[in-house]
Structure 1
């Protein structure tokens, strides 16, 4: 969730499920076979792209850290009895369980590297989140204190999200419990009391993992030295969030790219974000040869709180054209789009047993190539399977944003003292 605009209050951008809503009206065009054995393509059973409604018995993640689950996935423990239609792409928002107070009170927070404020809903909220029975009761905690415990920070906060949702409240200080052995007194977090908009069911707030002064990363630096990693799981699996030495132990198998400074043109406090150099993109083993200046002028950030990757329009147009050419043997979903739709390259794979999907590669600095298989390329269901990228649009941050869909099942390690981010495959199975 990237910050949208500067203010004395905290503003940041939430690419939540509202931005992902899209509709497709299938045209009934027949599906043609794809050419097999072509380099740079994955032969994919279409059935494997369908959402799963049961938590896998082999789900392993979280054994070495905080468990991560998809918001509407069957492993979350908070999924609705009737999951939302997969056509709307509401998954790929990821939750972790943390606790505040003495005795501990547990909450499900969105894992977000695109913002720095951690907050949760508090008792006596005026406009509450969708789960009114889960809130932090400060009167029930013997270690709570009202207001900021960090110098030069105001006691109250306001956050406004890109979909016009807002969160308002006061800061409080209390014990944060990540794991039984990881307990932090006097942790400052937002005590949310007034919400507008739709944050979705099963969400109690946000775990801010940016680089800002109030982030969880900064406030736990004395123990974890500002190093953490995660694997964002598929819907029927469990990922993990690791801090400190547990995260560092994974580094030998990763490819690293340097953290860099932002372009200095956004008008925001860019020091809170994780900027990297995105140099080019390949589709089906063919470089698009996008000038690196296209990405450098806006800056590229890694953000677990944004679902769909956002590219500068010039880069997105090149990616879309190359992807449509590679998928030319499959029929486009022929339908009208509605207001709020951001995914505009969709296919009807109904009746197709195996689809040949082009691999997309993100080329970062220092040779850190991140290969995107079909799960990281597509979003939606078989009759409306869409390219999970979009262009930037007016009124939002102009950053290039690498979102959670493109990070699915990767190990992503943030080494802030080493000024680098590492990527590795099969992170959730380790």
Structure 2
């Protein structure tokens, strides 16, 4: 189901009825039976104050993609020491891609902070592109660090626990170059209502929505 900004997408074809606004919520992969997400065309019933809002960016030539500007990343409330220039290319919102891709400079800083806070757990071999993995055998409760993404206009979005690990690995991977646009994947979007106000050039996030 195409949701991009191209003329053939569902969103573009229903603009007259729903005004180029849609929301969705992706439930956690480990949700109990009966847990579900949702997809809604049209303006949400909740007031805009219910969402953390940041500007929506668009490519002039590739109008199908929606982007946001990631400014910083915080781990347990502490901002990582990453130059803002590393995030200059922005991040594409993609509900089909699982793992979030970060500029290498930002990923290395996140990985270092995450590993230091997970030192009490046994490390495991990498799994594909995921290079920070753990063996949680015998661990009854995981003490995961809190990870928050800081977007333009001061929009701070703390990830749900389900958005931190993927198959017992840190659910982030690096791009090959800081100049490449990042990707905000569906694992990090889990449990959040994501609002796309295409007409108003805004993206919103509401935690704990599904």
Aligned counterparts, 1:39-188, within 5 A? none
Residue 377 (str. 1) matches residue 159 (str. 2): no
Question: d(CA) in 2 for partners of 1:217 and 1:289?
Answer: 38
Residue 272 (str. 1) matches residue 55 (str. 2): no
Residue 308 (str. 1) matches residue 106 (str. 2): no
Aligned counterparts, 1:390-409, within 5 A? 390-393=173-176, 398-409=180-191
Question: d(CA) in 1 for partners of 2:130 and 2:19?
Answer: 39
Q: How many residues align?
A: 205
Residue 258 (str. 1) matches residue 55 (str. 2): yes
Structure 2 residue aligned with 1:183: none
Structure 2 residue aligned with 1:319: 110
Larger Rg over CA atoms? 1
The alpha carbon displacement at 1:250 in A equals: 5.3
**Structure 2, gaps ≥5 residues long:** none
Label 1:398 to 1:248 Cα distance change in 2 as closer, same or farther (>3 A): farther
Q: Which stretches of structure 1, 4 residues or more, deviate above 6 A after TM superposition?
A: none
Question: d(CA) in 2 for partners of 1:410 and 1:331?
Answer: 30
Three-state SS of the structure 2 residue aligned to 1:358 is coil
Question: d(CA) in 2 for partners of 1:278 and 1:371?
Answer: 13
Three-state SS of the structure 2 residue aligned to 1:354 is coil
Question: d(CA) in 2 for partners of 1:326 and 1:285?
Answer: 13
The alpha carbon displacement at 1:313 in A equals: 0.9
**Structure 1, gaps ≥5 residues long:** 1-206
Residue 363 (str. 1) matches residue 145 (str. 2): no
Does the aligned pair in 2 maintain the 1:284–1:326 contact within 8 Å?
A: no
Structure 2 residue aligned with 1:389: 172
Does the aligned pair in 2 maintain the 1:343–1:387 contact within 8 Å?
A: yes
Residue 218 (str. 1) matches residue 12 (str. 2): yes
Q: TM-score, normalized by length of structure 1?
A: 0.46
Label 1:244 to 1:373 Cα distance change in 2 as closer, same or farther (>3 A): closer
The alpha carbon displacement at 1:368 in A equals: 1.2
Structure 2 residue aligned with 1:347: 134
Question: d(CA) in 2 for partners of 1:379 and 1:329?
Answer: 19
Deviations along 1:135-158, one digit per CA (max 9) or x if unpaired, are: xxxxxxxxxxxxxxxxxxxxxxxx
Structure 1 residue aligned with 2:119: 328
Question: d(CA) in 2 for partners of 1:426 and 1:251?
Answer: 16
Structure 2 residue aligned with 1:117: none
Question: d(CA) in 1 for partners of 2:103 and 2:190?
Answer: 22
Question: d(CA) in 1 for partners of 2:78 and 2:121?
Answer: 20
Question: d(CA) in 2 for partners of 1:250 and 1:406?
Answer: 24
Does the aligned pair in 1 maintain the 2:160–2:191 contact within 8 Å?
A: no
The alpha carbon displacement at 1:392 in A equals: 1.4
Q: TM-score, normalized by length of structure 2?
A: 0.91
Question: d(CA) in 2 for partners of 1:291 and 1:368?
Answer: 18
Does the aligned pair in 2 maintain the 1:414–1:421 contact within 8 Å?
A: yes
Does the aligned pair in 1 maintain the 2:160–2:190 contact within 8 Å?
A: no
Q: CA RMSD in A?
A: 1.8
